[in-house]
């Protein structure tokens, strides 16, 4: 198993990470429970992190970093000669119930 980090500077997080050290003593089948426990603990620690400790430009729990606006649906352009809405060279679709 790889070595655990020296420390994060947060005693609670360090305790959670140190708990991963017991993985070597457990059968592999029990590793998922240990990881789930660590994940839940780290999530709880993040939720308790005050915003004044946040690094500018990085997302914080409940306050994601703003990103670019999502593009909307494509806008129709001007009609192209020889092209139907169904695609180039395709005959127009017929309405249901009409010959």
Q: What is the pLDDT of residues 10-36, one digit of tens each?
A: 889 999 999 999 999 999 999 999 999
Confidence of residue 91 (pLDDT cuts 50, 70, 90): low
- Number of domains within the chain: 1
Tell me which residue range forms the domain holding 15: 10-55
The model's pTM: 0.46
Predicted local distance difference test score (pLDDT) of residue 8:
82
Crossing angle for the helix pair 31-47 and 11-19, nearest 10 degrees?
Answer: 170
Q: Is 19 domain-assigned?
A: yes
DSSP 53: G
Residue 32 lies in a domain: yes
pLDDT computed for residue 70 by the predictor: 62
Tell whether 93 is covered by a domain: no
15 occurs within a structural domain = yes
Q: How far apart are CA 58 and CA 60, in angstroms?
A: 7
Residue 50's CB is within 10 A of a number of other CB atoms, namely 7
In a domain, residue 4? The reply is no
Taking only the tens place, the pLDDT of each residue in 32-71 is 999 999 999 999 998 887 766 556 655 555 555 555 666 6
């Amino acid at each position: 198993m790889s070595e655990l980090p020296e420390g994060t500077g947060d005693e609670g997080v360090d305790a959670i990470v140190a708990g991963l050290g017991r993985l070597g003593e457990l059968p592999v089948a029990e590793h998922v429970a240990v990881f789930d426990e660590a994940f839940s603990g780290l999530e709880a620690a993040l939720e308790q992190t005050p915003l004044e400790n946040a690094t500018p430009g990085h997302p914080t729990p409940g306050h994601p970093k703003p990103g670019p606006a999502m593009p909307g649906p494509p806008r129709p352009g001007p009609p192209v000669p020889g092209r139907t809405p169904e695609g180039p060279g395709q005959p127009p679709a017929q309405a249901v119930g009409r010959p």
